[in-house]
Amino acid sequence: MDDLLPTPASRDPRAMLQQIRRQWQAAEDLWVFGYASLIWRPEFHADEHRPALVRGWHRALRMRSRINRGTPEQPGLVFALMPGGSCRGMVYRVARERADVELERLWAREMITGVYDPRWLPCQTPQGRVMALAFTLSRRSPSYTGRLSDDELIQILRMARGQFGSTLEYLCETARCLEERGMTDHELRRLVGLARQHRLI
């Protein structure tokens, strides 16, 4: 979830929502893939949740946050789903009777500025494959930071705080929730270790 810049007309969130609705079979339940804060603060009602694996995408702390986890003067970071690798997270099923209402709520949270590229991704779960809505980020996005040095990351983890708390708190909560579910993310674990090494936690 983030809140960056005015939305260009070409990335109008309502138009993007209509496109997602056209692609979604409204006679079916809605599935949503969560890889960070959607795991520990989904803010929509799901009828079922399962652990899931997405191939071809990975979780990366490379998206600027100027309101929720930082400020315009001291931008923070949030996780994004980026091309390449794989990602373990959770999928949430919303019964079709309520799916459209819950999709509106989810859109208001994630797509207020149209920063993400929402897409349907195949997710492997213990009960089989489902197609789930996921919020991905393009490397062409102005919100994408590119690779940051450890010194840059430490500075952000030390200083960045927004309306929902600090980048450090966001990182630690995501790490805690994944660990509780037995999901290993080596880069996330490294980042928490880096914060601990610098006595931030």
Q: Where are the domains of the chain?
A: 9-197
Bridge partners for 158 per DSSP: none
pLDDT in tens, the chain (201 residues): 443 333 444 679 999 999 998 898 777 899 999 999 999 998 888 999 999 999 999 999 999 999 999 999 999 999 999 999 999 999 999 999 999 999 999 999 899 888 999 999 999 999 999 999 999 999 999 999 999 999 999 999 999 999 999 999 999 999 999 999 999 999 999 999 999 999 999
pTM for this model (two decimals)? 0.91
Are 95 and 49 in contact by the 8 Å Cβ rule? The answer is no
User: What is the DSSP track for 51-119?
Assistant: EEEEEEEEEEEEEEESSSSS-SSS-EEEEEEEEEEEEEEEEEEE-HHHHHHHHHHHHHHH-SS--SEEE
Catalytic residues: 110
Query: What's the pLDDT at 43?
Result: 86
Query: What's the pLDDT at 8?
Result: 42
73's tokens:
């003067």
Specify the CATH architecture of the domain 9-197.
Roll (3.10)
